[in-house]
Amino acid sequence: MTEIINNLKCIQKKIEDAQHRADVSQQVNIVAVTKEVDVARTQEAFAAGLVHLGENRPEGLHTKLEHITSDVKWHYIGSLQTRKVKQVINDIHFLHSLDRISLAEEIEKRAERPIKCFVQANVSGEESKHGLSKEEVISFIQQLASYTKIEVVGLMTMAPNTEDEHIIRNVFREVKKLQQEVIALQLPYAPCTELSMGMSNDYEIAVEEGATFVRIGTALVG
């Protein structure tokens, strides 16, 4: 547990430094990505004060749920197959991968309460990544007006796996611009106040560009 606490302190300091550099002050929530670690390690993360935990498979989520039940905000951070919606939707607090109407329809059908959803944007256009293109995001969100079980709390993206900081930063900036466009529409079901972007290798840049949720696995819990 000491290792996770030390990792967390280091990450929090880097987040503060990034905010200072960019002169931004948004609250940044750290989602501990526990998909690759066991129950004991996940319990250590929770004991260290990490209440936002991220899983990407129903099986992993349910295994952790059996042992960690209180005060956790569970995030489903992977692409969610339509046929698996019923397995997870009422056990999570946030979905980071809403990117198609068929998924929205299944959530509407299966959810017992409104689900906080991030619409996934693939502004880099990489074929290996899921998500909507920059041109599709606004119209997609507008199509969700009649879905009572979906609250679009924000946008999510993943930057390309590259060492080129300029490329990474541009991706995050494009998503921030999209977020502002959604906010300007003043849609009651899509406040879009949050930005889920940044992982272990690029969360500092993401924070500088406005991220309010960063998804950190390796640098935090291993």
pLDDT of residue 222: 83
Tell me 84's DSSP state.
G
**What pLDDT score was predicted for residue 1?**
65
Q: CA–CA separation, 81 vs 134, rounded Å?
A: 22
Closest CA to 124 of 165, 175, 73, 76: 175
Domain ranges across the chain: 2-221
Q: How far apart are CA 207 and CA 202, in angstroms?
A: 9
35-44: string of b/e by CB count within 10 Å (b at 16+)? bebeeebbbb
Q: pLDDT tens, position by position, for the chain (222 residues)?
A: 689 999 999 999 999 999 999 999 999 999 999 998 999 999 999 999 999 999 999 999 999 999 997 789 999 999 999 999 999 999 999 999 999 999 999 999 999 999 999 999 998 877 778 899 999 999 999 999 999 999 999 999 999 989 999 999 999 999 999 999 999 999 999 999 999 999 999 999 999 999 999 999 999 998
The DSSP symbol for 201 reads T
Distance of CA 124 to CAs 156, 204, 211, Å?
13, 19, 17
Say how many CA atoms lie within 13 Å of 125 toward its Cβ.
4
Residue 128 confidence (pLDDT): 73
Class of the domain covering 2-221: alpha beta
- Taking only the tens place, the pLDDT of each residue in 69-108 is 778 999 999 999 999 999 999 999 999 999 999 999 999 9
